[in-house]
Amino acid sequence: MGEELKVIVFKLGHEEYGIEVDKVRNIERMMPITRVPKTFSFVKGVINLRGVVIPVIDLRGRFGLPESEYTDQTRLIIVAVNEMEVAFIVDSANDVIDLNSDSIQTPPEVVGGVKAKYLDGVAKIGEDRLLIMLNLSEVLNKSEIIQLESLED
């Protein structure tokens, strides 16, 4: 029997994604983002969250999905990746679920337009709901993390 995971569910377009709760610091409403020159196109800039400067990444841009307008539902999910905090822009984040690790299967090559290397797997919930589990360390690869760390200085 697999272990129980608590997972925050968020949406990009019509797809639902999950990040383990223990990797999420907090979820915030959209706030002003300070642009930073000479960064990857999916790095939208930085925010100042309670005195901490945090790089902001548009997950739609990261995955090569079309960008969309920010709405009242748009959220910033603050995650910890390799001792560093990063904010992901997502379309909405409104659910925490319990998931058995046994229900997570190896992802196919592409899920919802997202390459498998960014994914830990796909979890089947109930009869017709799929949850795409993110592989945070791959969403931010090492060279990108080095570049983002320089934004924090």
Quick one: which H or E segment has residue 12?
Answer: strand 4-12
Range of the domain at 128: 4-152
Q: What is the pLDDT of residue 27?
A: 96
Structure confidence at residue 137 as a pLDDT band (50, 70, 90) = confident
Rounded Cα distance between 72 and 130, Å, is 25
Q: Are 111 and 42 in contact (CB under 8 A)?
A: no
What is the phi/psi pair of residue 74, to 5°? -60, 135
Per-residue pLDDT reduced to its tens digit, 100-127: 888 888 876 666 656 767 788 889 888 8
CATH classification of the domain holding 107 = 2.40.50.180
The number of distinct structural domains making up the chain is 1
pTM, two decimals, is 0.86
